[in-house]
């Protein structure tokens, strides 16, 4: 393995750890604020979260409400 590849591999490991820690903060906040009302799924990687709303909840309306609070939220029903 070349020096460049070792440095790149180390960088990737460091970034994975950094983003893992950054990802935990909003998940923890969701659980603290919402309790069992939302289920966060696919929380292993990346910086996007998917939260399942309770049955019957209007995801478009919820999305509009949280956008007003500065949170980017895309309702999955439009996909």
Residues 8-34 pLDDT 10s: 999 999 998 888 888 888 889 889 988
Angstrom distances, CA of residue 67 to CA of 9, 32, 47, 59, 64: 37, 19, 17, 12, 5
Residue 54's CB is within 10 A of a number of other CB atoms, namely 9
Read off the pTM.
0.66
Q: Where are the domains of the chain?
A: 3-78
Cβ–Cβ < 8 Å for 62, 73: yes
Residues 41-60 pLDDT 10s: 876 767 788 889 999 999 99
pLDDT for residue 68 = 93
């Amino acid at each position: 393995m070349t020096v460049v590849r070792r440095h790149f591999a180390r960088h990737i490991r460091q970034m994975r750890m950094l983003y893992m820690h950054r990802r935990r903060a909003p998940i923890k906040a969701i659980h603290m604020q919402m309790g069992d009302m939302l289920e966060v799924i696919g929380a292993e990687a990346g910086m996007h979260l998917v939260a399942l709303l309770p049955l019957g909840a209007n995801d478009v309306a919820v999305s509009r409400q949280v956008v007003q609070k500065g949170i980017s939220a895309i309702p999955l029903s439009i996909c």
